[in-house]
């Protein structure tokens, strides 16, 4: 089996090399560039996101590529949201498969988080909502269905989230979307001979916003790049082809206290899967020139994702352990009101203090060494806490408002980008030493290099839920799918759930209903925790976490027929199921 796979991959590689030689010999336009695609933006507080199977002409010639997209041909719109707003998401799954949509980096209730437990069946509308508590930052959203994350992310499903707030708005920073404030999701893909994506950890082609050989015009002034590593596995050691310096202004969870100059002979920033960085690049006075944003992965060690060079096998890639262009930036004219300087300071961050930590939680990252065997990684699966992920095991329970130190202890040979939901954290030490300045801001992903120990601190506040867990995992989608993941609940010790055995009296009206269905609890102290509506074939049509029922449930999307509604009561977690008719 393994051998066959290797043979096919070898054959595929030699065919591709042959193909490339032919391309170079016969087609001079093989080196032509495509304009970097900039996702549309959605603003406001109500967001309609329809996920569907679709296709796009990604490779310039030949077949279109089968993709997954949100409101479009691939990827999805950039959601621009404001701190303090309550945002409502209408996530319609029109894929042929179940999926989930996770709001990566967002601090919200676990039931709204879109992790592997919030499965959206095909044909179902999921309506999470939350108050935006994050500070201004660059977050993203992507599928998180267990054992399917790699496949669904490979299809291209995902999107940026830009959080804005007053502190950021007060700064003289580039903020014209797509002009001097440019989101770039970097990823790599492998195309088969039919131009279709192969589901592999490392691709042979680099993509920026799903664009191959991308180029883009930038104005001759300071430009802000919001860079996201949306890859399945690779890290990208980012820098510019002329080794120009740049400023880091923000990391995963928001702006730094002050811009940080990355300079020297080879200014680089290593961005691992799931991570974001916001940088400022100075193009003043450079109109007419071009520069490449590149990945300098040749300098990466063999055990950093993207640093390995496998000639064949499932991890082979033309991009392994080499340097390559990501996007060509062509400097044009200056815009009106350009940003021509870098602010001396940005925001005032208050990080949790180590002396306030109630405990140190130790999470090991290790190689299973034959203890467990999983599909692609085989007997050398990577695991957290000495065990593979189990859907039904809550690995940790954290009291609400507790500040904790998490000690990530790696005995793995390989580097793993560790990600945690619910919180942004601050890195305290890496192998006992203070981390480099550019890793001292808010983070939700940290690359834990093989054999190293990373300690971070976080406070688990605002949201407690004894039954819906948050996840932590390696953000290499292959490792996550194969079980390098765990889960925790945040519990509120002050709230006691009384379990009553009695049937909960509830009224549904009108029935038959047309546009709205009202649900009323006889006991005013009771309320709904989760509502789901299924049709007669048992297909889930609506999923409403923690719904606000006073205005009725909008059932205008349901066609005529008989439905069942299941209502989980908040305090008792009892489920009441009733039937209603839509006419
Ligand atoms: Cu971006 Cu749990 O993931
Ligand atoms: Cu996440
Ligand atoms: Cu990993």
The pLDDT tens digits for 230-242 are: 999 999 999 999 9
> Are the CB atoms for 343 and 389 separated by under 8 Å?
no
Residue 242 in any domain: the answer is: yes
In the structure, ligand 3 is a single-atom ion and the residues with CB under 5 Å from it are 382, 416, 474, 476, 479
Across residues 283-291, what is the average pLDDT?
A: 98
Residue 91 in any domain: the answer is: no
Counting ligands in written order, the one closest to the CA of 106 is: 2
Which is more confident, 29 or 53?
Answer: 53
CA of residue 124 to ligand 1 center, whole Å: 22
CA of residue 475 to ligand 1 center, whole Å: 6
Atom index in ligand 1 nearest the CA of residue 142 equals 1
CA of residue 445 to ligand 3 center, whole Å: 12
Q: How many domains does the chain have?
A: 4
Residue 20 in any domain: the answer is: yes
Atom index in ligand 1 nearest the CA of residue 471 equals 2
Band of pLDDT at residue 502, cut at 50, 70 and 90: low
Tell me: do 529 and 426 sit in the same domain. no
Counting ligands in written order, the one closest to the CA of 234 is: 3
Residue 239 in any domain: the answer is: yes
Structure pTM?
A: 0.89
- Taking only the tens place, the pLDDT of each residue in 190-206 is 999 999 999 999 999 99
Counting ligands in written order, the one closest to the CA of 383 is: 3
Across residues 166-170, what is the average pLDDT?
A: 98
Tell me: do 458 and 511 sit in the same domain. no
Tell me: do 479 and 528 sit in the same domain. no
Which of 440, 495, 441 has the alpha carbon at shortest distance from 463?
495
The whole-number pLDDT of residue 375 equals: 84
CA of residue 421 to ligand 2 center, whole Å: 5
Atom index in ligand 1 nearest the CA of residue 115 equals 2
How many Å is the Cα radius of gyration of the chain? Answer: 24
Tell me: do 446 and 519 sit in the same domain. no
Q: How far apart, in whole angstroms, are the C-alpha atoms of residue 5 and residue 3?
A: 5
- Taking only the tens place, the pLDDT of each residue in 300-325 is 999 999 999 888 888 889 999 999 99
Q: Which domain holds residue 477?
A: 354-491
Residue 113 in any domain: the answer is: no
Residue 62 in any domain: the answer is: no
Runs of H (alpha helix) within 238-348: none
Model confidence at 181: pLDDT above 90:
yes
Tell me: do 321 and 465 sit in the same domain. no
- Backbone φ and ψ of 157, nearest 5°: -75, 125
CA of residue 511 to ligand 3 center, whole Å: 51
The whole-number pLDDT of residue 496 equals: 53
The residue count of the chain comes to 583
Tell me: do 463 and 521 sit in the same domain. no
* Torsion from C-alpha of 152, 153, 157, 160, nearest 10 degrees: 150
Check the CA dihedral 471-474-476-481 and report its sign: negative
Band of pLDDT at residue 437, cut at 50, 70 and 90: very high
Across residues 117-124, what is the average pLDDT?
A: 95
Which is more confident, 493 or 407?
Answer: 407
Residue 487 in any domain: the answer is: yes
Tell me: do 200 and 303 sit in the same domain. yes
**pLDDT > 90 fraction of the chain, expressed in percent and rounded:** 81
The whole-number pLDDT of residue 571 equals: 86
CA of residue 347 to ligand 1 center, whole Å: 26
> Atom 3 of ligand 1 has which residue's CA nearest to it?
104
Tell me: do 314 and 380 sit in the same domain. no
Q: What is the mean pLDDT of the chain?
A: 92
Across residues 555-568, what is the average pLDDT?
A: 92
Counting ligands in written order, the one closest to the CA of 382 is: 3
Q: For residue 298, what is the domain's CATH number?
A: 2.60.40.420
The whole-number pLDDT of residue 524 equals: 87
Atom index in ligand 1 nearest the CA of residue 274 equals 1
Across residues 208-213, what is the average pLDDT?
A: 98
Band of pLDDT at residue 18, cut at 50, 70 and 90: very low
Model confidence at 65: pLDDT above 70:
yes
> Which residues line the pocket of ligand 1, CB cutoff 6 A?
102, 104, 142, 144, 274, 419, 421, 471, 473, 475
Atom index in ligand 1 nearest the CA of residue 485 equals 2
Tell me: do 454 and 360 sit in the same domain. yes
Tell me: do 156 and 292 sit in the same domain. yes
Angle at 61 between CA 57 and CA 65, to 5 degrees: 35
Tell me: do 479 and 542 sit in the same domain. no
Model confidence at 7: pLDDT above 60:
no
Band of pLDDT at residue 374, cut at 50, 70 and 90: confident
Q: How far apart, in whole angstroms, are the C-alpha atoms of residue 378 and residue 6?
A: 14
> Atom 1 of ligand 1 has which residue's CA nearest to it?
104
Band of pLDDT at residue 370, cut at 50, 70 and 90: confident
Tell me: do 279 and 362 sit in the same domain. no
The whole-number pLDDT of residue 166 equals: 98
Long-range contacts of 504-510, Cβ-Cβ distance < 8 Å, separation of 24 or more: 504/569, 504/572, 504/574, 504/576, 506/567, 506/576, 506/578, 508/565, 508/578, 508/580
The whole-number pLDDT of residue 449 equals: 98
The whole-number pLDDT of residue 20 equals: 45
Among the residue ranges 331-335, 361-365, 537-541, the one predicted with the least confidence is 537-541
Query: Of 457, 491, 525, which one is at a domain's C-terminal end?
Result: 491
Model confidence at 16: pLDDT above 70:
no
Q: How far apart, in whole angstroms, are the C-alpha atoms of residue 75 and residue 39?
A: 8
The whole-number pLDDT of residue 31 equals: 67
Band of pLDDT at residue 25, cut at 50, 70 and 90: very low
Residue 314 in any domain: the answer is: yes
């Amino acid at each position: 089996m393994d051998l066959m796979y290797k043979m096919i991959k070898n054959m595929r590689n030699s065919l591709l090399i042959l193909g490339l030689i032919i391309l170079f010999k016969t087609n001079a336009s093989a080196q032509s560039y495509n304009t970097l695609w900039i996702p549309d933006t959605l603003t406001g507080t109500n967001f309609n996101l329809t996920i569907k199977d679709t296709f796009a002409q990604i490779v310039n010639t030949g077949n279109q590529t089968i993709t997954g997209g949100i409101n479009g041909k691939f990827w999805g719109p950039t959601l621009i949201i404001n701190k303090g707003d309550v945002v409502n998401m209408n996530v319609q799954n029109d894929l042929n498969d179940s999926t989930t949509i996770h709001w990566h980096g967002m601090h919200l209730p676990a039931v709204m988080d879109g992790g592997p437990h919030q499965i959206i069946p095909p044909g179902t509308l999921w309506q999470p909502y939350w108050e935006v508590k994050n500070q201004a930052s660059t977050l993203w959203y992507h599928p998180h269905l267990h054992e399917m994350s790699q496949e669904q992310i490979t299809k291209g499903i995902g999107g940026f989230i830009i959080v804005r707030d007053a502190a950021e708005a007060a700064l003289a920073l580039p903020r014209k979307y797509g002009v001097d404030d440019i989101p770039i999701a970097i990823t790599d893909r492998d195309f088969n001979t039919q131009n279709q994506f192969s589901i592999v950890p490392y691709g042979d082609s680099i993509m920026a916003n799903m664009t191959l050989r991308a180029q883009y015009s930038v104005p001759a002034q300071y430009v802000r790049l919001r860079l996201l590593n949306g890859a399945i596995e690779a890290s990208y050691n980012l820098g510019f082809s002329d080794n120009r310096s740049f400023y880091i202004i923000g990391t995963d969870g928001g702006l730094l206290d002050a811009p940080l100059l990355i300079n020297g002979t080879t200014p680089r920033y290593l961005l691992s899967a799931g991570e974001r960085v916001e940088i400022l690049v100075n193009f003043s006075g450079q109109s007419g020139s071009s520069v490449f944003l590149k990945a300098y992965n040749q300098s990466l060690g063999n055990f950093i994702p993207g640093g390995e060079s496998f000639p064949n096998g499932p991890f082979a890639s033309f991009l392994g352990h080499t340097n390559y262009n990501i996007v060509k930036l062509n400097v044009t004219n200056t815009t009106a009101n350009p940003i021509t300087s870098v602010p001396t300071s940005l925001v005032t961050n208050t990080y949790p203090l180590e002396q306030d930590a109630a405990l140190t939680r130790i999470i090991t990252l290790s190689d299973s060494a034959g203890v467990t065997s999983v599909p692609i990684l085989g007997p050398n699966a990577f695991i957290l806490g000495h065990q593979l992920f189990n859907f039904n095991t809550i690995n940790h329970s954290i009291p609400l408002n507790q500040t904790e130190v998490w000690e990530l202890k790696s005995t793995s040979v390989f580097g793993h980008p560790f990600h945690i939901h619910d919180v942004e954290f601050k890195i305290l030490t890496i192998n006992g030493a203070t981390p480099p300045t550019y890793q001292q801001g808010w983070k939700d992903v940290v690359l834990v290099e093989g054999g190293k120990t990373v300690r971070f601190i976080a406070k688990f506040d605002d949201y407690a839920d004894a039954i819906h867990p948050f996840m932590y995992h390696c953000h290499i989608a292959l490792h996550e799918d194969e079980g390098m993941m765990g889960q925790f609940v945040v519990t509120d010790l002050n709230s006691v759930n009384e379990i009553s055995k009695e049937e909960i009296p509830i009224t549904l009206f009108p029935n038959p209903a047309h546009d709205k269905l009202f649900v009323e609890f006889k006991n005013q102290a009771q309320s709904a925790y989760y509502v789901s509506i299924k049709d007669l074939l048992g297909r889930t049509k609506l999923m409403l976490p923690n719904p606000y029922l006073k205005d009725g449930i909008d059932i205008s999307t349901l066609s005529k027929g008989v439905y069942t509604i299941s209502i989980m009561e908040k305090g008792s977690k009892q489920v009441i199921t009733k039937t209603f008719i839509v006419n």
